[in-house]
Chain A
């Protein structure tokens, strides 16, 4: 089982390697909990019954003046545990973005791309800024996970996160697998429409904006979208993601399991669909 959406912002050992990480976590990413030993992350996976987690950085050097984890630091963290799957991030405003991505995948052995348009301040349908990155990602055969929907961080505009802005990428790059994070909340209908329409568009479950994981996921995945639609039409299009450490992994696992989905559908959400996007299907 795989968590497709985590941010290693509170790993204490990495604060010692990158002294600015504490400030970035607190003042840019706006996660304010105390750092924890790496072991806590591993134990969190254990108690949640998960084997591995995708680690997501955000390269926001132009928009925020920093990288919320560099690709090198993600690669270093991945070398500390085989439980981690590292993704890269590149800054769309930098001319070297596509080359940076190639280096991260080929040299650092990272396995996907994370883009956060609201944090990075770009429209994901901007051909000049974004398309060279998509071309590179498609050629590298890696998935791209987009932050979509509401952004908690102050001074970050949610307008860049509207899921419909991803339609051009899905349309123009049919061989590029796109994951819309957070179910695109509150634009759930748009996100679901894209996942229904485009074979290369997927959704992750990492959404919690009020109440608790059980109630919120039940609201999104049984009321905003009927559970029968998840089971029948979207079972191959949804990946489990927690958004740890904004949400504990164990609580999101519990919430997904409480929805009432079939065992076969849960297997796809927790493992099968992620393995397919990571090129591990059949392993």
Chain B
């Protein structure tokens, strides 16, 4: 069995945004040589996410707006305190909660060297606390 791991840095440019990384995932699968197996995409940050949805501006805005409704930035969170580990006061609990609600990873099957996904499904890196340089992993596993 082959297992190929890539770590990819992505520069987000907005405080909150969805960045389409479908092409990067497809490229990683192609480069791995895996014909049959699965691919995992996971973010390495707790204030960002990996989301699968349709690639439409309106829907992308709806996703972000709804997550803001569920986990507003300006809520009263216990996380709003000085963290010795960071050397700063934390006030991004809303971003952490959006990451949990939206999810931090996605899986797809691979068959005949191609990702098996719906025609409208796109893979997005979700930024909830940008702009920042972020890292996500693509791991391709199979034979």
Interface segment among A136-144, A189-197, A229-237, A242-250: the answer is A242-250
Does B132 make an interface contact (CB < 8 A)? Answer: yes
Interface segment among B27-35, B58-66, B87-95, B97-105: the answer is B87-95
Closest to B75 in A: A212
Does A31 make an interface contact (CB < 8 A)? Answer: yes
Min C-beta distance of B55 to chain A, whole Å: 23
- Count residues of B near A (Cβ-Cβ below 8 Å): 18
Does A222 make an interface contact (CB < 8 A)? Answer: no
Neighbouring A residues of B87 by C-beta, 8 Å: 29-33, 152, 246
Closest to B13 in A: A43
Does B15 make an interface contact (CB < 8 A)? Answer: yes
Establish whether residues A247 and B89, one from each chain, have CB atoms under 8 Å apart when the complex forms: yes
A interface footprint on B73-88 (CB within 8 Å = 1, 0 otherwise): 0100000111001111
B interface footprint on A9-31 (CB within 8 Å = 1, 0 otherwise): 00010000000000000000111
Establish whether residues B89 and A208, one from each chain, have CB atoms under 8 Å apart when the complex forms: yes
Contact partner of A31 (CB less than 8 A), chosen from B14, B80, B88, B130, is B88
Number of A-B residue pairs having CB atoms within 8 Å of each other in the complex? 62
Interface segment among A34-42, A175-183, A266-274: the answer is A34-42
Establish whether residues B86 and A33, one from each chain, have CB atoms under 8 Å apart when the complex forms: yes
Establish whether residues B88 and A47, one from each chain, have CB atoms under 8 Å apart when the complex forms: no
Establish whether residues A246 and B133, one from each chain, have CB atoms under 8 Å apart when the complex forms: no
Establish whether residues A44 and B131, one from each chain, have CB atoms under 8 Å apart when the complex forms: yes
Contact partner of A212 (CB less than 8 A), chosen from B14, B74, B85, B130, is B74
Contact partner of B11 (CB less than 8 A), chosen from A40, A211, A251, is A40
